Amino acid sequence: DPNRMLEAYYQSATTLNLLRGFAKGGLANLHEVHRWNLGFLKKSELHQQYTDISEKISQALDFMEACGINTYNTPSLKEVDVYTSHEALLLPYEEA
């Protein structure tokens, strides 16, 4: 059904745009680590483990800042590259 294929294409494009927005829009900024999913994790058994990890990341970032490494002179600290692919299960159909 070509309509389902078009719908899947739209959903894929929308998802990639969302990922791109997250990756380049500051959500990947390590300085935001304390805000990532904290509401969700407050009810989780992993809350303390996550908090410990986020504290260690904050300490490392503070050390880097003291050494002069920050998001202003190192933009890669606030964004991330995302790579995707697809399985090409119906490649002959898609090539048509």
Between 66 and 20, whose confidence is greater?
Answer: 66
Is the pLDDT confidence value at 96 over 70?
A: no
**Nearest alpha carbon to residue 71 among 22, 28, 7, 21:** 28
Question: Do residues 71 and 29 lie in contact, with contact meaning Cβ atoms separated by under 8 Å?
Answer: yes
Is the pLDDT confidence value at 14 over 90?
A: yes
- Averaged pLDDT of the chain: 81
Both structure tokens of 81: 């590259």
- The Cα–Cα gap between 50 and 94 comes to 43
> Helices (H) and strands (E) in the chain — how many of each?
4, 0
Give the CA-trace dihedral at 29, 20, 36, 69, to 10 degrees: -10
